[in-house]
Structure 1
Amino acid sequence: MAERSTSGAPDLTALSVGDEVAQAEHLITRDSLVRYAGASGDFNPIHYRDDVAEFVGLPGVLAHGMLTMGIAVQTVVDWAGDPARVVDYQVRFTRPVVVDRNDGATLSVSARAAVVELQNHRVRVDIIATFNGQTVLGKAQAWVSFA
C-alpha cells in the first residue's frame, strides 16, 4: 500500500505505476438496497422483489448500478483522504451484482495506480470491482488530484 506524507495524504513520490493503493470487501445486503432506494429515489422493483426480477428474466434481485459504482469509488476516497480529491470517475457496467436474500453479496474492490503525474499532483487509479470472481465494472477509472 502507498505510503503517506506528513500531511496525511498519500506520498506520490513513493508511488509507482502498478502499486495497489487500496483494497476492500463490502457486503451488500437487501437492507443496503432498501436504504439506497430511499436515498436515491430508485424504487425499481428489480432491486427488492424476487418475483419481479425473475419475471423479467433476471437471476435475482440486483444491486443498483450506481450503488455498486459508489461503493467501488469509496475505496479510492478512503485512500485519498478527501472525497473532493476525486475529480473524475468513470465506469462501464459489465455484470449485475445479484443480492441473495439471506447471504447478500460481497463486492471485492482493488485499486491500483495506473498513471502517476508528479508535476500535476494527480494519479489515475484503476479500480477492479468483482462479485463471485467476475468483474462487474469495466474501465473503472478515477482521477485523484492532490494539488
Structure 2
Amino acid sequence: MSLQMFLPFVGAESSPVKNEVEKGAIRKFAEAIGDPNPIYRDEEYAKEAGLGGVIAHGMLTMAFVGQMLTDTIGLEGHLRTFGVRFTGMVRPGDVITCAGKVTETRNDGGQQVVTCEIWASMQKGDKVVTGKAEFALPIN
C-alpha cells in the first residue's frame, strides 16, 4: 500500500503488518549481523541466563518495523529518521504486528514531510518496540 493512500491527515494509521518470528529467522539474523551471543540460538544457555529460553534480537523486531515503513512509503518516499525503543522480549513463535500512526504533516521544499509514531506489538497487544519515524513524499 502506498503511504499516500492514508495521508495527509493527522491520526491516519498504516495497515498493520504481521510477522511470525521463527527460530530459524532468529538464528539467521544473529549470524547476519555477526552476533555470536548464544541467547539467540541455544535454548539451554538462554534459560541458564535467566531469559526462559531463546529470544529474538531486538534489531530483528526493529527490522520488521523498518520493512513496514519502507513498504508503506513506497518508491516515491524518502525515510528521513527512524528510531525505536525496545520495551519487551520476543520469542520464537510470537506474532509481531507492526503499525504506525501519523502525528504531524507539513510542507517542506516541495515535499510533504510526515511524522509518525511507530510500534510493534505481540499477539496479546503488548508493545515490544515503540518509536518515531519521519519521511518525505513528493507533493503531486
User: For the superposition of Structure 1 and Structure 2, which TM-score range results when normalised by the shorter chain?
Assistant: 0.7 to 0.9
Gaps of 5+ in 2: none
Q: 1:82 to 1:35 in 2, by over 3 A?
A: farther
The number of equivalent residue pairs is 135
Match in the other structure for 1:62: 55
Return the offset for 1:82.
3.5
Match in the other structure for 2:118: 127
| One-letter amino acid of the structure 2 residue matched with residue 110 of structure 1 | A
Match in the other structure for 1:118: 107
Match in the other structure for 1:137: 129
Deviation digits for residues 66-93 of structure 1, max 9, x if unmatched? Answer: 1111111211110101397111111111
How is 1:1-147 mapped onto 2 (pairs within 5 angstroms)?
10=4, 14-82=7-75, 85-99=78-92, 104-119=93-108, 120-132=111-123, 133-138=125-130, 140-147=131-138
Return the offset for 1:11.
5.8
- Superposition TM-score, scaled by structure 2 size: 0.86
Aligned-partner Cα distance in 1 for 2:65–2:59:
10
Deviation digits for residues 5-26 of structure 1, max 9, x if unmatched? Answer: xxxx6268x4211101231101
Moved over 3 A (4+): none
Identity of aligned residues (%): 28
Aligned-partner Cα distance in 2 for 1:145–1:70:
20
| One-letter amino acid of the structure 2 residue matched with residue 125 of structure 1 | C
| One-letter amino acid of the structure 2 residue matched with residue 144 of structure 1 | F
| One-letter amino acid of the structure 2 residue matched with residue 44 of structure 1 | N
RMSD of aligned Cα (Å): 2.1
